[in-house]
Amino acid sequence: MMKARNGFTLLELTMAMTVVAILAVAMVSAFTTGLQTWERVEQRSDAEQRVSAVLETLSADLRGAWLGPNDKGGWFTLEGQEDASSLSFTCLLSGRQTGQTLDFSAVSYYLDSSSGILWREVGPAPSEKAVEQSEQIEGQEDEIAEDVLQFSVRCWDGEEWQEVWPPAISGNGTAEQNTVSLPHIVEISMELSSGQERTRTVRTMIPIEMAHP
C-alpha cells in the first residue's frame, strides 16, 4: 500500500513561487500603469484649469478696455513681435480685481521668451498720459502662465486684422500712426508646451464693448 505524500516537492514549490511572482509583477505593472494614467489626467486637468484662468483674466481686462472720459487719458497699444506680442491698455477693473467698485487702471501683458513666462502688470492709470508713455506702467507684476511658447495678439479694426495698434495709416505717401482708438475685437493665440515635446494651441476672440462703432 502506497503512503500518502505529505507536503510539496521542490518542483511544485518552484512552480508555485513562479506563478506568485508572475501575478505580483502583473499586479505591480497594472498599478503602475493606472497611477501613470491618473497622473497624466491630473496634470492635463491642472493645465486646463490654468489656461482657463488665464483666458478668463485676459477676457475680463479686455472687455473693460476704456480710453477714459471723452477718450482722454487712456491708450490701447499692441506691438507685433514674432511669437511674442506686447499688449498695453487702460481699462475699468472690477472690485474683485482691485478692491474698489471701479478703478481706471493700466494693464500690460507680455511674454518673456527666454523663460516662457507670460506676465501681467497692472497699476493705476494716471489722469493724463500720452500713448507713447504707455509702457511705463508702475504697478504689480504677476506671473500668470508658464511654459508659453507663443503669445500672439491681433486686433480687428472693422475691416481687417492688425498686428500693430494703433494701425498705421498712409497719408501723402508716408505711414503715420492712427489716432487713439479701441479695436472692435482682439484675438489671442497662445501655444503652450505640454511636455514630452508636445504643444497645445489655444485661441479666443474677445469683443471690446466700448469700441466705437
pLDDT at site 174:
45
Predicted confidence (pLDDT) at residue 131 exceeds the cutoff of 60:
no
Note down the domain range covering 168: 46-207
What is d(CA 131, CA 88) in angstroms, rounded to the nearest whole number? Answer: 10
Q: Does the residue 179 lie in any domain?
A: yes
Quote the Cα angle for 190-117-148, to 5°. Answer: 30
Predicted confidence (pLDDT) at residue 109 exceeds the cutoff of 70:
yes
Predicted confidence (pLDDT) at residue 182 exceeds the cutoff of 60:
yes
Q: Does the residue 23 lie in any domain?
A: no
Contact assessment for residue 168 and residue 174, using Cβ atoms and an 8 Å cutoff = no
Q: Does the residue 2 lie in any domain?
A: no
Query: How many domains, the chain?
Result: 1
Predicted confidence (pLDDT) at residue 56 exceeds the cutoff of 50:
yes
Predicted confidence (pLDDT) at residue 127 exceeds the cutoff of 50:
yes
Separation of CA 213 from chain center: 29
Q: What length does the chain have?
A: 213
High-pLDDT (> 70) share of the chain, % = 70
pLDDT at site 6:
58
Q: Does the residue 104 lie in any domain?
A: yes
CB burial of 160-171 (b: ≥16 within 10 Å; e: otherwise) equals eebebbbbeeee
Answer with the residue of higher pLDDT: 179 or 184.
184
Q: Which residues pair with 24 in a beta bridge?
A: none
Q: Does the residue 188 lie in any domain?
A: yes
Q: What is the mean pLDDT of residues 47-52?
A: 73
Q: Does the residue 149 lie in any domain?
A: yes
What is d(CA 52, CA 60) in angstroms, rounded to the nearest whole number? Answer: 12
Q: Does the residue 7 lie in any domain?
A: no
Q: Does the residue 34 lie in any domain?
A: no
Predicted confidence (pLDDT) at residue 106 exceeds the cutoff of 50:
yes
C-beta atoms surrounding 90 within 10 Å: 24
What is d(CA 210, CA 213) in angstroms, rounded to the nearest whole number? Answer: 9
pLDDT at site 111:
93
Answer with the residue of higher pLDDT: 97 or 210.
210
In order of 29, 148, 191, 196, the CA distances from 42 in angstroms are 20, 20, 20, 16
pTM of the model: 0.70
Q: Which residues contact 118 (CB under 8 A, 6 or more apart)?
A: 54, 109, 110, 111, 112, 143, 144, 145, 146, 148, 151, 190
Predicted confidence (pLDDT) at residue 37 exceeds the cutoff of 80:
no
3-state secondary structure of 182: coil
C-beta atoms surrounding 88 within 10 Å: 21
Q: Looking at 64-105, list the stretches that DSSP marks H as alpha helix, in order from N- to C-terminal side.
A: 95-98
Q: Is 148 exposed, middle or buried (0-12, 13-18, 19+ CB in 10 A)?
A: buried
Predicted confidence (pLDDT) at residue 96 exceeds the cutoff of 80:
no
